[in-house]
Amino acid sequence: MVKRNHIVIIGGTACGPKAAARARRCDPAAKITIIEQGEDLSTATCGLPYYVSGVIENEDNMVARQPDFFKITMDMEVLTETRATAIDPKAHTVEIIDLETKQCSTIEYDKLVLATGSKPAVPDWEGKDLDGIFTITDIPDANAIRAYLSNLGNKKEVVIVGAGLIGLEMAEAFVSLECNVTILEALDRVLPTLLDSDIAAQVEKHLQDRGVRVICGRPVTGFQGDENGRVRKVMTRDTEFETDLVLLALGVRPEVTLAKDAGLTIGSTGGISANRYLQTSDPDIYAGGDCVENVNLITRKPVLAPMGSTANKHGRIIGTNVTGGKDTFPGVLGTAIVKVFDYNVGRVGLNESQARGAGYDTVISIVPSSEHATYYPGARDIIVKLVAEKSTGKLLGGQVAGPGDTAKRIDVLATALTFGATVEDLADIDLAYAPPYNSALDPLHNAANVIRNKQSGFARTLTPAEVKNKLEKGDRFVLLDVRSPLEWTVQRIEAEQVRLIPLTELRRRLGELSRDEEIVIFCRTSVRAYQAQRILDGADFKNVTFMDGSLDAWPYDTTSPDK
């Protein structure tokens, strides 16, 4: 009789159950064991902020599959409330402990899968163990936050430490639960590892419009509690913030203790090192999900990608490979998307600062657009920022934010980046067009063409931050607004450098401008500003640029003088 292949999987959230299910489908005869320290398998941890807010009403909806499904239908052994405590790679064994009975035992494996996930990063701050300070990684955490909140009075102050994905999702959850929310971020902007400051500024503005106090560049130093050991204050170097509840949302770190103790190679990122078959330094041990490091497809460098999407892809590949198949994982693009109240915020590839950090000479475009034809009702706005390599036009990344459909554009960019597209390639893709879905040219087409216009020398720009900086320095230049008088009435940039000459009057009013002075043009989205720049170019003006994205991308103050 042939010995049954015994596949042991440690971790039951996303990668683990997926690997188990795939392995079962590939090999109906294999023996499969899943070890999970919690009560449930397949919990929808990405939905936790929506479970806290009550958008997802029922706890049952947070568990995709009951353990019995894996036991009975999938014919697996399922050890919940069981922790793996050690691996002996040589002996091919795993030590486990039943968390209820405290009984220890040893199981043998032929192939082992590490899907140990990640744990929240928590610095060693003073007071970090006070009551009312939470992290959120599982359903018990979510229930604890809900319970703690329900015991507070009506006026609830919440401080979220960290303006990453979970921090922003939880900000919305807490606001919907009628809390006053303050976000403290140590770095200079929200979503600092994901977005450039220009796009982050748009997101921050939206958060503040929705009543969230956002304070960036303010590292936390510790917490103070009351006599009952409940958190009351969040301390920074020079201020303190009163609070009733604190959420630590400082990102996650790969959980690699077992792997490290077993002598497996840990990569420079802190994640378990794995080859493209997701095999660790021990060929009989595979690793996937949050605990493993991935290759960034643009830089080819190792990165962490703690995402449910990646974990599920890993799971399928591992399930194939532990049953004798050969499937490979190519890598990740750092794709992320997050709902921030009415804003949809996405990013993929490298942002401008990452691209420069990686040594690329970059060219960017910032293009505000409608999500579909403006003449079709209900079109919402988005801003697209593209980053490309200057010499080749190779696309490096994109960021999209706004109330409109950003997910579609991020996914198109993810696909284009996967295949090494240039901006020229992107400009010509035959995307789907009908008025309820898009404009004849997609915002990505336009954003790609703006970069091509810059490459050909037709378009020359300053970013909003550069213009703001010139205004603050008191530079002598003309900041030329080419919008209509009506638009000027409703909203304008207030500065002595600003002049209004509507685009429609520009050709006949050229005499009002000097050919040698510096002129920076803007309108609402930069379509007219670019046209104006080309008119001035054609009339032999020597020092003309326009502002990337114009007023729609201007995150600073404007005035509405005639309102």
- Residue with smaller CB distance to a second copy, 373 or 498: 373
- Residue with smaller CB distance to a second copy, 222 or 308: 308
Give the range of 138-146, 249-257, 336-344, 358-366 binding a second copy by CB under 8 A.
Answer: 336-344
Smallest distance from a second copy to CB 360, Å: 19
Smallest distance from a second copy to CB 412, Å: 5
> Amino acid letter at 8?
V
Is 295 near a second copy (CB under 8 A)? no
- Residue with smaller CB distance to a second copy, 127 or 334: 334
- Residue with smaller CB distance to a second copy, 238 or 430: 430
> Amino acid letter at 331?
G
Cα separation, 165 vs 210, whole angstroms? 17
Give the range of 54-62, 179-187, 247-255, 485-493 binding a second copy by CB under 8 A.
Answer: 54-62
Is 430 near a second copy (CB under 8 A)? yes
Is 369 near a second copy (CB under 8 A)? no
Binding letters toward a second copy, positions 103-132, x by CB under 8 A = ------------------------------
Going across the sheet that includes 498-500, the strands are: 461-462, 544-547, 519-522, 478-481, 498-500
Is 275 near a second copy (CB under 8 A)? no
CB atoms within 10 A of CB 210: 15
Angle, CA 145 vertex, CA 141 and CA 147 arms, to 5°: 115
- Residue with smaller CB distance to a second copy, 250 or 448: 448
Among 336, 367, 471, 478, binds a second copy (CB under 8 A): 336
Among 338, 366, 519, 553, binds a second copy (CB under 8 A): 338
Fill in the DSSP letter of residue 60.
Answer: G
Is 318 near a second copy (CB under 8 A)? no
Is 140 near a second copy (CB under 8 A)? no
- 498-527 residues near a second copy, rule: CB under 8 A: 503-504, 506-507
Q: How far is CA 158 from CA 124, 155, 205, in A?
A: 21, 10, 19
Question: Cβ neighbours of residue 458 under 8 Å, at least 6 residues apart?
Answer: 534
Is 144 near a second copy (CB under 8 A)? no
- 408-427 residues near a second copy, rule: CB under 8 A: 408, 410-412, 414-416, 418-419, 421, 425, 427
Is 56 near a second copy (CB under 8 A)? yes
Among 332, 471, 479, 519, binds a second copy (CB under 8 A): 332
- Residue with smaller CB distance to a second copy, 144 or 539: 539
Is 54 near a second copy (CB under 8 A)? no
Give the range of 55-63, 188-196, 245-253, 485-493 binding a second copy by CB under 8 A.
Answer: 55-63
Query: Which of 433, 460, 426 lies closest to 371, judged by CA?
Result: 433
Binding letters toward a second copy, positions 298-317, x by CB under 8 A = -------x-xxxxxxx--x-
- 59-78 residues near a second copy, rule: CB under 8 A: 61-62, 64, 68-69, 72-75
DSSP states along 116-172? --EEE-----BTTTSBTEE--SSHHHHHHHHHHHHTS-SSEEEEEE--SHHHHHHHH
DSSP collapsed to 3 states, 475-540: CCCEEEECCCHHHHHHCECCCCCEEECCHHHHHHHHHHCCCCCCEEEECCCCHHHHHHHHHHHHCC
- Residue with smaller CB distance to a second copy, 130 or 311: 311
Which of the following is catalytic: 46, 179, 216, 291? 46
15 catalytic residue (yes or no): no
- Residue with smaller CB distance to a second copy, 100 or 428: 428
- Helices first, then strands: H and E counts in the chain: 16, 30
For 448, the enclosing helix (H) or strand (E) is helix 443-455
Kindly report the backbone phi and psi dihedral angles of residue 48, in degrees, each rounded to the nearest multiple of 5, phi listed first: -55, -45
- Residue with smaller CB distance to a second copy, 117 or 334: 334
Smallest distance from a second copy to CB 519, Å: 16
Tell me the site size for a second copy, rule CB under 8 A: 96
Residue matched to tokens 């003006």: 541
Among 14, 32, 142, 249, binds a second copy (CB under 8 A): 14
Query: Which of 234, 127, 132, 126 lies closest to 186, judged by CA?
Result: 234
Among 242, 458, 469, 472, binds a second copy (CB under 8 A): 458
Cα separation, 161 vs 236, whole angstroms? 11
Smallest distance from a second copy to CB 13, Å: 11
Is 552 near a second copy (CB under 8 A)? no
Cα separation, 461 vs 15, whole angstroms? 45
Question: Cβ neighbours of residue 336 under 8 Å, at least 6 residues apart?
Answer: 165, 194, 307, 346, 347, 348
- Residue with smaller CB distance to a second copy, 222 or 325: 325
Is 490 near a second copy (CB under 8 A)? no
Cα separation, 20 vs 309, whole angstroms? 16
Give the range of 76-84, 88-96, 261-269, 431-439 binding a second copy by CB under 8 A.
Answer: 431-439
Q: End-to-end CA distance of the chain, in Å?
A: 86
> Does residue 66 sit in helix, strand or coil?
coil
> Which residues are catalytically annotated?
46
